[in-house]
């Protein structure tokens, strides 16, 4: 079981005394994070399987986006709080979670707005974000090896590998020529990617206490991998359904 209060922990005596009240702040933010995260896990499926562009898809989709931004912001805040308190390993999880959720969420919204006419500034920002996920992911993998894959180091490895899956997209973002894309499929892929990040985090943190009796030892990593497998399969199914180029509508 992974606990947000555990992990590589360094305390400075004087600072620890002064920041003891941060535990209460952390608990409040964590409660909010869990609440909006749970709602996002539920609402994720509705826009995915309802008619694209339909009333339910649009309305629930907007709610999901709002919930996910709350998840991102609260995860970033939890990261800062834990880093200040000296829980650097857990802070790394939370910071990376915020990053790998924010990037596809942001781009899925932007691509829906601009469709085929994507501004160069947007592409530059995406290039930076994708590169950051790859670099940060590689750092987590290296860290997990340094820790000899013991304890929560397995979680570092799983999350790090999740970031490394962006290598093809990151490399493609450096290509000079703009590639004609299916904006609808890009939007769908981005939203599914946020679901992968959300469910991976849920199964690694909150869900681990319910699954710890089923998956033990090295098998504890299985639930953390399942969201990626399901997500990739779903994307492949969606690609077959929306394989034809979609005309941009204004």
Question: By percentage, how much of the chain surpasses pLDDT 70?
Answer: 80
Is residue 3 scored above 80 in pLDDT?
A: no
Per the model's pLDDT, the better-predicted residue between 225 and 80 turns out to be 80
Residue 163's contacts (CB-CB under 8 Å, 6 or more residues apart) are 96, 99, 100, 133, 134, 136, 137, 138, 140
Reported as a single tens digit per residue, the pLDDT across 89-125 is 888 888 998 999 999 999 999 988 887 778 888 889 9
Q: How far apart are CA 62 and CA 66, in angstroms?
A: 6
pLDDT in tens, 204-223: 776 666 666 666 666 666 77
Q: In the structure, what pLDDT confidence band is assigned to residue 249 with cuts at 50, 70 and 90?
A: very low
Average pLDDT over residues 241-245: 67
Around 148, how many Cα atoms within 13 Å sit in the side-chain half-sphere? 1
Burial annotation 203-239 (CB, 10 A radius, 16+ → b, else e): bbbbbbeebeeeeeeeebeebbeebbeebeebbeebe
Higher-confidence residue of 154 and 217: namely: 154
pTM across the whole model? 0.81
């Amino acid at each position: 079981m992974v606990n947000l209060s555990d992990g590589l922990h360094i305390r400075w005596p004087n600072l620890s005394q002064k920041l003891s009240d941060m535990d209460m702040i952390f608990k409040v933010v964590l409660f909010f994070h869990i609440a909006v995260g749970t709602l996002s896990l539920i609402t994720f499926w509705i826009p995915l399987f309802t008619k694209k562009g339909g009333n339910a898809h649009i309305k629930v989709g907007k709610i999901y986006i709002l919930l996910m931004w709350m998840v991102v912001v609260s995860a970033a805040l939890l990261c800062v709080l834990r880093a200040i308190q000296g829980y650097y390993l857990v802070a790394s999880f939370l910071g990376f979670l915020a990053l790998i959720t924010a990037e596809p969420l942001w781009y899925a919204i932007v691509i829906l707005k601009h469709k085929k006419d994507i501004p160069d500034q947007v592409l530059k920002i995406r290039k930076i974000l994708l590169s950051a996920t790859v670099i940060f992911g590689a750092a987590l993998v290296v860290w997990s090896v340094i820790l000899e894959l013991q304890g929560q180091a397995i979680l570092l490895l799983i999350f790090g590998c999740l970031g490394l899956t962006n290598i093809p997209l990151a490399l493609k973002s450096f290509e000079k020529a703009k590639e004609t894309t299916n904006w609808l499929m890009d939007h769908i892929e981005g939203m599914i990617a946020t679901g992968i990040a959300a469910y991976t985090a849920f199964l690694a943190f909150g869900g681990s206490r319910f699954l710890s009796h089923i998956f033990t030892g090295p098998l504890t990593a299985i639930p953390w991998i399942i969201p990626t497998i399901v997500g990739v399969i779903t994307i492949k199914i969606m690609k077959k359904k929306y394989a034809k180029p979609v005309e941009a509508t204004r």
